[in-house]
């Protein structure tokens, strides 16, 4: 299983790296989490430099893709050449967007008629794109999920792990990163919110996509 986090120039460190850390709690053979960027290196909004591990092309073929957030998301969404490289398919992979990453999903036409979660800064931009913005941290419809607020990246990571492996694996990963003395409460809260969307099977992937025996690891 390959999960890739799209990380662009001016990225928000929390949005990309919290999910990266939680997802990497899975130590199962074949489980791979990568950072993907248009350039070899990208610099965060606070000066942290990351080196891209895979190309955008390889990232777009991953089993799950998280679109990270940052201060230049509107510029990215307006870059036709860059956007043309983002060939994402909710019928064959899980798609998740953190904060302003939802704007990229919207511009790609992947939020048509689907409400989304985002940060307060991005909210009016999404509304201008005719997307209903929800006042909550996480929402999922079929194979597309969005989260609003940096620390909501835990929800996206848990949703992906639960969908690709199991709810138990997601709970274990969350338990590891949760604050001491608050672990059970933290896990219960996140899994309770994310789990509310597991009943939605309206957009199950096609054969060979996520959720099928050909790509699902054994529990």
The pLDDT of residue 212 is 37
Prediction pTM value: 0.89
Query: At what angle are helices 13-23 and 153-164 packed, to 10 degrees?
Result: 30
Q: Which residues are within 8 A (CB) of 42 and not within 5 positions of it... i.e. 6 or more apart? A: 7, 8, 9, 10, 11, 49, 50, 52
Structure tokens at 104: 């990229």
CATH code: domain 2-195 is: 3.40.50.880
Query: For each of the chain's 219 residues, which pLDDT tens digit applies?
Result: 999 999 999 999 999 999 999 999 999 999 999 999 999 999 999 999 999 999 999 999 999 999 999 999 999 999 999 999 999 999 999 999 999 999 999 999 999 889 999 999 999 999 999 999 999 999 999 999 999 999 999 999 999 999 999 999 999 999 999 999 999 999 999 999 999 998 654 433 332 344 433 333 333
The pLDDT of residue 200 is 52
CA distances from 79 to 75, 111, 145 (A): 6, 19, 23
Question: Per-domain residue ranges for the chain?
Answer: 2-195
The pLDDT of residue 198 is 86
CA distances from 24 to 86, 136, 188 (A): 24, 26, 20
């Amino acid at each position: 299983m390959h999960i890739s986090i799209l990380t662009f120039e001016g990225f928000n460190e929390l949005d990309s790296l919290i999910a990266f850390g939680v997802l990497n709690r899975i130590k199962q053979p074949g489980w791979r989490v990568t950072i993907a960027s248009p350039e070899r290196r990208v610099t965060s909004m606070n000066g942290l430099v990351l080196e891209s591990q895979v190309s955008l092309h390889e990232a777009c073929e991953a089993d799950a893709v998280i679109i990270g957030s940052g201060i230049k998301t509107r510029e990215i969404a307006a870059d036709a050449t860059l956007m043309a490289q983002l060939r994402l398919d909710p019928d064959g992979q899980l798609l998740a967007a953190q904060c302003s990453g939802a704007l990229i999903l919207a511009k790609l036409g992947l939020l048509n008629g689907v409400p989304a979660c985002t940060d307060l800064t991005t909210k009016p931009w999404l509304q201008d794109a005719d997307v209903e913005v929800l006042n909550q941290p996480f929402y999922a419809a079929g194979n597309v999920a969005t989260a609003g607020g940096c620390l909501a990246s835990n929800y996206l990571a848990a949703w992906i792990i639960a969908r690709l492996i199991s709810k138990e694996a997601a709970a274990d990963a969350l338990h590891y990163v949760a604050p001491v003395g608050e672990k059970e409460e933290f896990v219960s809260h996140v899994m309770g919110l994310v789990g509310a969307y597991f009943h939605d099977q309206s957009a199950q992937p096609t054969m060979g996509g996520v959720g099928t025996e050909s790509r699902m690891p054994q529990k």
